[in-house]
Structure 1
């Protein structure tokens, strides 16, 4: 089944930091943008605790703390798809984390949009970049999720900038 990510620019919240998430079954990589939404940088890797049928656990709480800490105006969760645009089993996990964050933010009276961003090839790009910078595979495992989150968020930021450029050349 085809899975379609959200499109940057639609209902854009304007200036402010964005948070990018690379959701895995074991870890969640986190990245943040600058206030002008131009550059994504790594933040941390959060250990995944909440399963699909669990109540929210410490990982969800930590992600909400990061969102608050950076005063984020938008959250971009990577949507894992293959090259043909079909969803993998990981789509369920990504959508579940996005749903839980949205529910908790809404419940707290916050209107921070939680989007699904295209994640195709982000882990491959992140791994290649880490190897090129001389990071060993073992050391890379500790930061690969953050690097993938940076790739997801930077891709979103670049598409957002292109969208805004089309509107205001």
Structure 2
């Protein structure tokens, strides 16, 4: 099986995770940093990562309000997904509600310093997004 990359797209950063060849677990890969709201620059970097890792499938976090509505951040993610798809990438939009909270909790339990948490929180959120997708695909919940 080909690997899958998970993305947590923000306004200045994009956390990236990648799964193993068996689609069981995933790990943090990197954080793409870009100028505020310059999603074209982010797209270029993500496409490079996909090519380097020979990946053709992405799970992109879809931010929703707690009531399920899609706001401006969600619309930006949908537009980003369309651009990835036009480059030949298969994209799965995945509900990312509370993934950053879960990632923060994991880092706090691991006694990671505030400075270090700030550097890796986006990657950890991407791990949460991708892992929940993999768990669902593998019959989990």
**What is the TM-score of this pair, normalised by structure 1?**
0.76
2:15 pairs with 1:29: yes
Any idea what the Cα deviations from partners look like across 1:88-109, whole Å, max 9, x if unmatched?
Answer: 3211221222122222x23xxx
Give the match for residue 4 of structure 2.
18
Q: Give the Cα separation in 2 of the matches to 1:42 and 1:71.
A: 17
RMSD: 1.8
Which residue is 1:42 aligned to? 28
Q: Which residue of 2 aligns with 1:4?
A: none
Asked whether 1:131 is paired with 2:108, we answer: yes
Match of 2:70 in 1: 87
Unpaired runs of at least 5, structure 1 = 1-14, 107-111, 164-169
Structure 1 contact 19–30 (Cα < 8 Å) conserved = yes
Count residues in correspondence.
140
1: CA distance, partners of 2:44 / 2:56? 18
Q: How far 1:69 moved relative to its partner?
A: 1.6
